[in-house]
A and B are shown apart, each in its own frame.
Chain A
Amino acid sequence: MTALLSILVLVFILVAIWQMVKIFDLTQVGNKEANNQVANDTDNRINGYLMIGFLIFIYVITIICFVKFGDLPLMSNSASEHGPGIDNLMIISMIVIFFVQTVTQFLLHYFAYKYKGEKGRKALFFADNNKLEAIWTIIPVIVLAGLIIQGLFTWTNIMNIDTSKDPLVVELYAQQFNWKARYAGQDNTLGKANVRLIDIDRANILGVDESDPNAQDDIITTELHLPVGKPVLFKMRSQDVLHSAYMPHFRAQMNCVPGMITQFSFTPTKTTAEMRETPEMIDKVANINRIRVEKSKELVAKGEEGLERYEFDYLLLCNKICGKSHYNMQMKIIVETQEEYEAWLKTQKEFKYSLVTVE
């Protein structure tokens, strides 16, 4: 209904403007100049002023966006060890972009206003200047060199996985449209697996090799629990199409590709409980709940169920188009202390006990 109304309003605005143009045209009937669809001095002046107006519009929308959304927790509140590295680089890049954007947009629109055409004036014949060209080739080269170098250090640091720190090995397993996690168990070695070994009747849903001794103590779960402060090495698999394991709070993402194992590693630095207590997150959650309460009122008025209260949790989202329910492919991530994690792990079934014997 809202959509319909907005569209109606738009149509009326359109009709109104069209009518205004008509009237405008009628008042100009006397003007029989041959080439009258070419801009004249009045057009140049009006559009010149509008250029300044537009420059202000760009600045205003920039300021509004930065003030209102500039510090969404995701931008400043990472929960992994490498996160601040990415965030710093992001902020540096943003400052460069903000500066260049502000200056160049100003020059562009200000010149468009300042040099708006007047009959009889002649433009300056200025076709080339090697010094200027050199300046705006060399300056970007220097700035980009800096950004590239820092970017490559950050990237290499994240992607070169340091196995000497004995990371916790976890498999992320993607299928249309859910996630599973497989923990390597006591031996911290994942059992071999291939989708050809999937046996639904035996409840071997990930195709884990039953004869592999390393597989016996593997643990398959539908929630991802991680101990804080310990490096985790994720091994990603997919059984059907491409998926992407996106964990925005940890600044982590890697595609899951059928037929190959991809990997990504990070160290969580904040437990879920700690994250919930950060001031930014408290604000964000309060804001979301305010929105949800309002929405619930509307829903209840319509006779539908209201929305539940939101509590923050880390999430793993699918971020590569994977089919109909792509928009709802998620898994909860819980970061907790080592003791909590171990206690939770003990309540989970090991692979060898999870199989069903078929008669």
Chain B
Amino acid sequence: MSAHVEDAHAHDDHGHHPKETFITKYIFSQDHKMIAKQYLITGTIMGVIGVMMSLMMRMQIAWPEEPNVIFKALLGKWAPEGVMDADIYLALVTIHGTIMVFFVLTAGLSGTFSNLLIPLQIGARDMASGFLNMVSYWLFFISSVIMVCSFFVEAGPAAAGWTIYPPLSALPLAQGGSGMGMTLWLVSMAIFIASSLLGSLNYVVTVINLRTKGMSMTRLPLTIWAFFVTAIIGIISFPVLLSAALLLIMDRSFGTSFFLSDIFIQGEVLHYQGGSPVLFEHLFWFLGHPEVYIVLLPALGITSEIIATNSRKPIFGYRAMVASILAIAFLSTIVWGHHMFISGMNPFLGSVFTFTTLLIAIPSAVKAFNYITTLWKGNLQMNPAMLFSIGLVSTFITGGLTGIILGDSALDINVHDTYFVVAHFHLVMGISALYGMFAGIYHWFPKMFGRMLNKKLGYIHFWVTAVCAYGVFFPMHFIGMAGLPRRYYTNSNFPLFDDLANVNVVITLFALIGGVFQLVFLYNFFASIFYGKKAVQNPWRSNTMEWTTPVEHIHGNWPGAIPEVHRWAYDYSKPGHEDDFVPQTVPMYEGEEELQH
């Protein structure tokens, strides 16, 4: 404890900082701003890998079993003569899901923006523990490397789907990918979970303890509320996945029978007795469903902040927004069974989970309506970040609404595991969270790199992405309702689905265009780091505290004392002030009323 006090002391005292070497500044940095950038760059690289995998899957679905030079170049022995192998298709499905959910939208999104914004927006010198923060990033880095390396083992990477249900994932006899590939998957995820927990604990402790004077919980920007609650959900649910992974390792390597029983495979009876795969499903989804909100809530927090700033209006219903974040967080931990309506569990449990699941629609609706009301009579500044935030609200509504169908056990019977599900969750958590991440990058790029992203490239990026996202996932609902199962390598063995082949080609074309146009973003991102227009201190004329720090990054964030906070973050266009924004650090003038919130 005393070490911590001294540490805090050292931060307050700027003149005597030890000289930083290249290694302590850029590699083993303990500065939250640098760690945020490390998370962002690693997440971006993983994102590129994940998206490329999805494009290969889409090409296989649209033009099944046709030779393709891209497959030949990228998949090597897994695409003899350029024809994709069925095993590697399932591996792509699996690793694409894993990378996008955990490595891009959990670590890449939360890791980047929680790290960057929590200290800056609450007025702290750094995270509570800079060292743990650094360890958290490097564990994430190691787990990313292991996950990518699993593509290069003899029998191929894990291929049991990102949900890795045993027995498929437990038995190398069932599938090549369940050998070394699955071992690496489990090791990588175990390290990832350790990283995520260290990060989350740090976020929670920082938000609770290190707020500057005047920054009460009810004055926190909604970004911080979202990151804070996300971290709590992570701490509650990730350990359960860790235990599931450990038990699966036991079953795989030490002959226990937690998840396995009565198995006859490839001519032999295995010794397993008494376990149940349904137990694994429960453990997996106890994380798996909250994970959806771990991915989505930070994106919604970012959106709240950006929509308010760019509408030049207070976010509508601050208290309701906080309440709905809390309600979603609570409900998210008691709905996991809706992934298991037809898993063989008691139908009565199905009824209970239908009830709790559909309740989530209420706080979600409140959030959507509050966003729309925030736009009403605003003075909307159409920056790329704002476009992505509006895009997020749009996909959140479209994707969220079909949840009413999937959460209803009776309807789930027929659309479970079809493309309807794929369309639903990609829109509501994939695209929405990705838009949140893009919005955050466009908005806080000046804070991260001291330069601006090019707005025209941003506009092109947004509009093409927006059209393609709907082009891909909207028709997908319909092929799902027609009964097309997901995770099929090709549909050509089912003449029943021949009339959907053209739709699949259209979807793939949209996916390819959308995928290729992400290059616009990548170019903009990397070129602007070096050649972007120099940023001013507060380019978006925003109220939150990160914009009171100098453009050049310094250890400890503020050169002098940390400013005091006098008001909430959303005094935009407040009557009685000349400017249309009033930063949180501006004291109340005499007689000014603070909103009751």
Q: What is A's interface to B at a CB cutoff of 8 Å?
A: 1-4, 6-7, 10-11, 13-14, 17-18, 21, 24-25, 34-39, 43-44, 46-48, 50-51, 54, 57-58, 61-62, 65, 69-70, 72, 74-75, 85-86, 89-90, 93-94, 96-97, 100-101, 104-105, 107-109, 111-112, 115-118, 121-129, 132-133, 136-137, 140-141, 144, 147-148, 151-152, 154-156, 158-160, 175-176, 194-196, 198, 200, 207, 236, 239-242, 244, 246, 248-249, 251-255, 257-260, 262, 284, 287-288, 291-292, 295, 307, 310, 312, 315, 317-328, 330
Q: Which residue of B lies closest to A240 (CB)?
A: B265
B513 touches A10 (CB 8 A): yes
A54 touches B580 (CB 8 A): no
A38 touches B413 (CB 8 A): no
B265 touches A136 (CB 8 A): no
CA distance A231 to B532 in the complex (A): 70
A43 touches B382 (CB 8 A): yes
From residue B65, how far is it (CB to closest CB) to chain A in Å? Answer: 11
With A61-B474, A69-B479, A137-B362 known, 7 other A-B pairs at CB within 8 A are A2-B66, A69-B478, A69-B503, A109-B390, A127-B317, A154-B410, A318-B485
From residue A138, how far is it (CB to closest CB) to chain B in Å? Answer: 9
CA distance A248 to B481 in the complex (A): 9
Kindly state whether residue B483 has any CB partner on chain A within 8 Å: yes
B171 touches A241 (CB 8 A): yes
Task: List 20 A–B pairs whose Cβ atoms lie within 8 Å, in order of A's numbering.
Answer: A3-B62, A21-B460, A37-B455, A62-B474, A69-B479, A72-B482, A89-B411, A108-B390, A111-B372, A125-B313, A140-B362, A155-B409, A196-B264, A241-B167, A253-B416, A295-B498, A310-B498, A320-B165, A321-B93, A324-B90
B344 touches A122 (CB 8 A): no
Interface 1/0s, chain B 426-459, versus A by CB < 8 A?
0000000000000000000000000011111101
A-B interface contact total, Cβ < 8 Å = 424
Tell me the interface secondary structure of chain A in the complex.
Answer: helix
Which 4 pairs across A and B sit closest by C-beta, in order of nearness?
A259-B261, A159-B347, A248-B483, A37-B452
CA distance A260 to B166 in the complex (A): 14
Instruction: Determine the chain B residues whose CB is within 8 A of the CB of A241 once the complex forms.
Output: 165-168, 171, 174, 265
B372 touches A108 (CB 8 A): yes
Query: Which segment of B206-214, B219-227, B488-496 sits at the interface?
Result: B488-496
Instruction: Determine the chain B residues whose CB is within 8 A of the CB of A122 once the complex forms.
Output: 312, 379, 573, 580
Across the interface, A259 reaches (CB within 8 A) one of B276, B318, B580, namely B276
B358 touches A254 (CB 8 A): no
A254 touches B344 (CB 8 A): yes
Instruction: Determine the chain B residues whose CB is within 8 A of the CB of A46 once the complex forms.
Output: 382, 459
Instruction: Determine the chain B residues whose CB is within 8 A of the CB of A133 once the complex forms.
Output: 317, 320, 366, 370
CA distance A2 to B501 in the complex (A): 15
Instruction: Determine the chain B residues whose CB is within 8 A of the CB of A69 once the complex forms.
Output: 475, 478-479, 481-482, 503
Instruction: Determine the chain A residues whose CB is within 8 A of the CB of B351 once the complex forms.
Output: 152, 155-156
B261 touches A258 (CB 8 A): yes
CA distance A124 to B316 in the complex (A): 11
Across the interface, A239 reaches (CB within 8 A) one of B263, B320, B457, namely B263
CA distance A207 to B267 in the complex (A): 12
Instruction: Determine the chain B residues whose CB is within 8 A of the CB of A155 once the complex forms.
Output: 347, 350-351, 354, 408-410
B314 touches A39 (CB 8 A): no
Given known contacts A14-B519, A101-B398, A115 and B378 CB-to-CB distance under 8 angstroms: yes
Kindly state whether residue B70 has any CB partner on chain A within 8 Å: yes
Give chain B interface residues in 374-389, CB to chain A under 8 Å.
375-383, 386-387
B488 touches A326 (CB 8 A): yes
Across the interface, B277 reaches (CB within 8 A) one of A13, A198, A257, A317, namely A257
Interface 1/0s, chain B 58-94, versus A by CB < 8 A?
0100110010111000000000000000110010010
